[in-house]
Amino acid sequence: MSSEEIERSTARVRFPGISPRAYEHPVDRGALAVLRAVPGIGPVLQAVAGAFTERGERLGYLASSIRVSPKQYPELDRLRLEVAATLDVDPVPELFVQRDPVPNAMTLGIDKPFIVLTTGLVDLLDAEGLRFAIGHEMGHVLSGHALYQTILRRLMQLQYGLGWMPAGYWAIRAVIAALCEWYRKTELTCDRAGLLCVQDPSAALRVHVAMAGGMDLTQVDTAEFLKQAKEYEQVEDVRDSVLKLIRTWPLTHPLAVVRAAELQKWAASEEYRAILTGEYPKREDDRPTSSFSEDIRSAARSYKESAAQSEDPLMKVFNEFGDVLSGAAGKVRSKFTGAG
């Protein structure tokens, strides 16, 4: 480790006992609350989870990938341990490096989550970029996302086997669509976790630029890259808005420029600065069951604020979506679960 890296590591803030609610994006919590309230989704998720063994998945990576340790990818192991210490994640999840030229990272497992990085991602990012990426995945672990991520991955594999059964296929597609909507929101949450680990908004932005196609970052202007997000947002034709919806709904990740702009906005917020100064909710104060209504209201406010600030014509049409979401979701919850 260079003297500059040691200095940065010493100056980096840690967050003992931090609750994921400190940085979770409100639409992440709201989408998960709505997902859990969808009639019949519980048995489907339980059946899919029970049809596969987590042990088998881990053994698969153990047999075909490199498990990071002090003797295998020691620099990645150092980052793994430092990131876990920053977010106070214990036990520290295992980390595997998988041969795949496509840059990607994922968190899998139900009872004992583990993290997988592809060689494409390791080759693409510098040390601080990898710190952000591993911190992002640790955010998934801390927020308990791995259960639904694993189920989504299994369902996406399962749907191909059900293609010859129209009813079965469309039932699976409906669940996958709901999970994808939630998963896109978790990425916004976990980008925030990654930023808390790297504590350098420019390093996080470089990751988003690299994932969008920035091979030589000396030839990419990050300010110009963020202008793309503004241009994407400012379409003037409702037809373009519809095309954006069609393009987005089957994706598991938000589009690169959208993610970048969303995280840079949070990096400039009072909320982020407060966390850095030690003002954040602790896990010890979390309640075993969060308030469904509170999560929905929070998500509704976020949707409404985004719609009000958006220059997308379709978002302006849906400017009252926050109020509709809050009322409709509460009715769904009351009707099918008897809860308020």
How many CA atoms, within 13 angstroms, populate the side-chain half-sphere of residue 186? 28
The confidence score (pLDDT) of residue 328 equals 47
Q: What is the pTM of this model?
A: 0.72
Q: Which residues pair with 96 in a beta bridge?
A: 67, 116
Model confidence at 22: pLDDT above 80: yes
Please choose, from the candidates 267, 100, 278, the residue with its C-alpha nearest in 3D space to the C-alpha of residue 188: 267
Residue identified by tokens 């940085």 is 23
The confidence score (pLDDT) of residue 46 equals 55
**DSSP assigned state of 163:** T
Rounded CA separation 102/82 (Å)? 25
Q: Which residues pair with 106 in a beta bridge?
A: 116
Rounded CA separation 231/136 (Å)? 27
Model confidence at 88: pLDDT above 70: yes
Segments making up each domain of the chain, as ranges: 18-337
Q: What confidence tier does 322 reach under pLDDT thresholds 50, 70, 90?
A: very low
Task: Taking residues 203-208, report their average pLDDT.
Answer: 94
The confidence score (pLDDT) of residue 274 equals 97
pLDDT tens profile 125-183 = 999 999 999 999 999 999 887 666 666 666 665 555 555 444 455 555 656 666 666 77
The confidence score (pLDDT) of residue 219 equals 86
Rounded CA separation 38/324 (Å)? 16
